[in-house]
Structure 1
Amino acid sequence: MIQLLTPQHWKDYELLDCGDFEKLERFGNVVMIRPEPQAVWKKVLSEQEWKKAANITFKGRSATSGEWIKKNPSLPDRWHISYSNGDVSIKMRLALTSFKHVGLFPEQAVNWDYISASIRKFKTPQPKVLNLFAYTGGATMVARAAGADTTHVDSIRQVVTWANENQELSGLKDIRWLVEDALKFVKRELKRGRKYNGIILDPPAYGHGPNGEKWKLEDHIQEMMQDVVQLLDEKEHFLILNTYSLGFSSVIVENLIRTSFPSVSNLETGELFLQATSGIKLPLGVFGKFCSV
């Protein structure tokens, strides 16, 4: 069954409105305007309401870079927000980057809830979880906070350092950090005979490994899926595949999972979105996930 899922009960994040290729959102006490290529419709709120609400606006110089314009120059470039789902709590450091991101994709909180709930169901005392393309580690923090022995893999050293800061902020320790090409790491783990109870994949449409390895989603995702399912523990496991690509549908994700892991059970597929307080919905990727228990 195809589902539409959006985060619930997150006090530190709020999508206020979106449209005209922009989104108005609140992270803690910071309200910002950022570009959003999916928002092809008109804004619900007026331009005056947007300008009044926002205290930071991202102005792009190109499709991938730009600068932040602050209404008040004293506003910090870095700040912290918290997330709790009643089971685990984490804290994340946010920052104004030159490529419009702030270090967090809030729609992923739906997957965080699934991760913590799955780990709590396992009988394995300290289940092993692998987070690939792990970015600043929201899913990593949740898995570790839920009691998992967690491995975090990303190809960018600065991002892994950022994730390590989030570990400290969240009062966690003993996460395994690796600056690696995800596909190469998975192949080495297969040779080692390693097994994981949980695997999380949030691959980009395009990317590069630390040694210049090229990643293109449609060219490499089938190979990746066929490899990662072999790393899953046979008795207790979960897997999440999340993609943010305009060319991918939940049916494609379902086909990838079913052809890579024919014995899959409890498979859920669908679309992640953020529900704006203005009433509009912002789609932000598709997912496929399953858990053995």
Structure 2
Amino acid sequence: MQLNVILMTMLLLEPQSWKDYELIDSGNFEKLERFGSYVVARPEPQAVWNKSLSDAEWERMANAYFKKDKGQKSGQDERGTWIKKKGMPEQWVVSYHYQNMALKMRLGLTSFKHVGLFPEQGENWNYINRVVKKMKTPQPKVLNLFAYTGGASIAAKASGADVTHVDSVKQVVTWSRENMELSGLNNIRWIVDDALKFVRREVKRGNKYNGIILDPPAYGRGPDGERWILEDNILELIQCCREMLDPEEGFLVLNLYSMGFSAIIAETLIHQTFGKDINLEMGELYLNDRFDKKLPLGVFCRFTNF
């Protein structure tokens, strides 16, 4: 029997690119993070090891600590309450710099433990910046699906792209607009819609994009109650992306956060749909804490066709 060894590109955020973020410690299903001037502690289901700092140190350092509601199961949408120390604001702003790209993002303490960005995605923002800058197409068209608060959207816009941002939640689209304005940018196209319904229509219209960014959740709901289940819908979504992606000059970034999906699944899906004549990278996005513990935060698969 022949065994094939696949080498995955392991990506780590470069500290000089993300001075406003640090993973301080992780363990016991939690993570301790600094966003700008403030430190927050919140659940992290993949931190299955022990903390390196004591609970007392975590309590001392954290400006806000997320406490799950009783009866909540571990998962991405855990509800709870932030316990804040004096001086901890409900909202604040952080900056991100890479080469000539300068972004600002408003953060906030939400009831679902999130703060408004996924810091490991900084590596993908860098990739988007490099690829858009290399393109010969003037103002390449970029589509960001399941776009959340728009980190990738404003990264693409700051790099010179014409950006369409799609998310099913009106409130986070409004949040994304704030981030665009904070970053001194304008003219992103905002769409509140179910991602799969939107791309089906785009395929029928024959619309093409030079870049497509996908951050699908494991489960989700559209604005009219449409159900999204990753394993049921991802194949159709990727096939629609093949129809929409410019065959001469295009890129695609796929992120998967479900613990049941590996980078090899993403690679197989992409190769079967787009062929093997592409410049593909895949692997895990992760962050190091101060004690050199590597916290995995999703798999990625991304490529250019030029």
Which one-letter code corresponds to 1:156 in the other structure? V
For residues 48-79 of structure 1, give each alpha carbon's deviation from its aligned partner in whole angstroms, at most 9, with x where no partner exists.
3222211110001024211111122x321000
- Structure 2 residue aligned with 1:103: 116
Match of 2:79 among 65, 68, 88: 65
Instruction: Tell me, in whole angstroms, the C-alpha distance in 2 between the residues paired with 1:256 and 1:278.
Output: 35
Percent identity of the aligned residues? Answer: 60
User: Paired residue for 1:158, among 167, 171, 174?
Assistant: 171
* 1:149 to 2:149 alignment: no
Structure 1 counterpart of 2:4: none
Whether 1:184 aligns to 2:197 is: yes
Q: Distance in 1 between matches of 2:176 and 2:9?
A: 30
In structure 2, the partner of 1:232 is: 245
Aligned partners of 1:87 and 1:234: how far apart in 2?
A: 28
Which aligned runs of 4 or more in structure 1 are off by greater than 3 angstroms?
Answer: none
The reply to whether residue 247 of structure 1 matches residue 255 of structure 2 is no
- Structure 2 counterpart of 1:196: 209
Counterpart CA distance in 2 for 1:269 and 1:277 is: 25
CA contact (8 A) 1:243 1:286 kept: yes
String of CA shifts for 1:51-110, please: whole Å, max 9, x gaps. 2211110001024211111122x3210000000111311100000001100000000011
- Counterpart Cα distance in 2 of 1:220 and 1:82: 35
Which of 4, 20, 41 pairs up with 1:33? 41
1:211-290 residue pairs with structure 2 within 5 A?
211-290=224-303
Local SS of the residue matching 1:76? coil
Provide the C-alpha distance between the structure 2 equivalents of 1:155 and 1:270, rounded to a whole number of angstroms.
28
Distance in 1, Cα, partners of 2:276 & 2:79: 44
| Matching of residue 54 in structure 1 with residue 62 in structure 2 | yes
State the alpha-carbon separation in 1 of the partners of residues 12 and 56 from structure 2.
27
- Unaligned runs of at least 5 residues, structure 1: none
- What amino acid is aligned across from residue 195 of structure 1 in structure 2? K
Instruction: Report the CA distance shift for 1:194/1:263 in structure 2 as closer, same or farther (over 3 A).
Output: farther
Which residue in 1 is equivalent to 2:142?
Answer: 129
Instruction: Give the C-alpha shift of residue 45 in structure 1.
Output: 1.8
Whichever residue aligns with residue 8 of structure 2, its letter is I
Structure 2: any 5+ residue segments left out of the alignment?
1-6
SS of residue in 1 equivalent to 2:253? strand
SS at match of 1:3: coil
In the alignment, does 2:152 pair up with 1:139? yes
Letter in 1 for 2:80: G
Instruction: Measure the CA separation in 1 of the matches of 2:36 and 2:103.
Output: 14
Matching residue within 193, 198, 209 for 2:222? 209
Output the CA distance in 1 between the equivalents of 2:95 and 2:109.
17
User: 2:207 and 2:191 mapped to 1: Cα distance?
Assistant: 16
- TM-superposed CA distance for 1:174, in Å, is 0.3
Q: CA deviation at 1:263?
A: 4.3
Secondary structure, counterpart of 2:163 in structure 1: strand
8 A Cα contact 1:45 1:278, kept in partner: no
TM-score, structure 2 length as denominator?
A: 0.94
RMSD: 0.9
Aligned to 2:11: 5
The AA in structure 1 aligned to 2:31 is K
Task: Figure out how many residues of one structure are paired with residues of the other and give that number.
Answer: 292
Residues 91 and 170, structure 1, Cα contact 8 Å, conserved in 2: yes
Query: Does 158-167 or 260-269 show the bigger shift?
Result: 260-269
Say whether 1:20 aligns with 2:33.
Answer: no
Letter in 2 for 1:268: E
Name the SS of the counterpart of 2:9 in structure 1.
strand
Return the letter of the residue paired with 1:34. R
